[in-house]
Amino acid sequence: MLGEVLEVAKDMETKSYREPLGIVAAICPFSTPPHPSIKFISLLMKLDFPAMIPLWSIPIATATGNCLILKPSERDPGAAMILAEIAEKAGFPKGVLNIVHGAAKTVDFIIDEPQIKAISFVGSNHVGEYIFERGSAKGKRVQANLGAKNHAVILPDANKHDALNSIVGAAFGAAGQRCMALSTLVMVGETKEWLSKLVDSATALKVGGGFDDTTHIGPVISPQSRERIEHLITSAQEEGASILLDGRGYKSDKYPNGNWVGPTVITNVKVHMKCYREEIFGPVLICLSVDSLEEAISLVNANEYGNGAAIFTRSGSAAAYFQRNIEAGQVGINVPIPVPLPMFSFTGNKKSVAGGGASYFYGKPGLQFYTQLKTVTSLWKSDEDGIKSVEVSMPTPR
């Protein structure tokens, strides 16, 4: 697999190729930071894209010859079970794809089991760092995508209609419960005057059940998540920000017990505020104002996360300057959620990836993560050219 070969001397060649690791695992939940009033007792988990995240691991792990143990979120395991059924119908041999259920104890078992050679994880920093540190200490490979605070920078020369529509969709789609949600808007110069139009677009979004085709924003994952999101909105207000659109206390006549948070837009945000420092993971867009592109880049780069950043502009030179100087691992130019297709890799950096980004998901780095490189050097001499005497020096090309 992905082999190379070179004749290094007369009758001698060296080749390298990749072999499967054996048994690998994927832990697919996102973890929600607890509400401040809740004592942290166990790993509180929820799932972002319960089908997509397993599909970051299943194809590459199994195509490279490994057996995969997949642990879906205990809160929404159905998608993983459907994928397992599809794999079985497609002809996967028994034991190649295995689903295990559970919470913290199951995670610890996966980390500690010596036969499991590698772990993939997508989730929050406090859970991902725990898995990375404990798994690495056990000698396992660990790839972990963690938290994010994705920024969009909008310049005055941007196509106003297209940019605002893109930002609203990226901020509130999936109720903001995705690691690449566009949660932070940096308005340069006069673009702060566009906020009323942005609020109008967000107000028009329909909150409702996921099986309703007219719904734009579904519920958040749990009552605890709703409480945490509303707490962060309240903290912004208490710290001096302005709530232009308030989704707290949203009620649905059809689903009165749903975990609803309506679209929320917060402006006059400063970088010291809790709503900026923490990943909200809900349908909340926070907005900051700066005077120049350079100031916007400095603001984004000062943030500890580095999953993605986007710029909206008609200027090629401004886009190129942004691309060169921004520190986020995934950059969008007039693209609000710059997640690459599988032939590339998910290349977040800084605190968004455990271990400094040494192990990325899918693409060529994904193939490398699930395989071990082996190098073989062979010497084939004819009988008359055999080794005449003992040689104690290192072999050298001749």
Other CB atoms within 10 Å distance of the CB of residue 256: 8
Residue that is written with structure tokens 């590459």 in the block: 60
Contact 369, 143 (CB under 8 A): yes
Which are the contacts of 282, defined by CB distance < 8 A and separation ≥ 6?
175, 176, 177, 220, 225, 226, 228, 229, 232, 261, 264
Distance spanning both ends of the chain, measured CA to CA: 29
Q: Which residues are the active-site residues?
A: 179
Element of type H or E holding 99 = strand 97-99
Largest Cα–Cα separation, the chain: 91
Residue 73: half-sphere exposure toward Cβ, Cα within 13 Å: 23
Look up residue 163 and give its two tokens: 């940019």
Closest alpha carbon to 34 in 107, 127, 101: 127
Q: What is the DSSP string of 77-124?
A: -HHHHHHHHHHHHHTPPTTSEEE---SHHHHHHHHH-TTEEEEEEES-
* Whole-angstrom distance, CA of residue 138 vs CA of residue 212: 46
- In whole angstroms, give the CA distance from residue 328 to residue 318: 16
Which of 255, 173, 261, 250 minimizes the C-alpha distance to 225?
Answer: 261
- Find where tokens 């967000």 sit: 202
Selection from 196, 272, 181 nearest residue 235 by Cα: 272
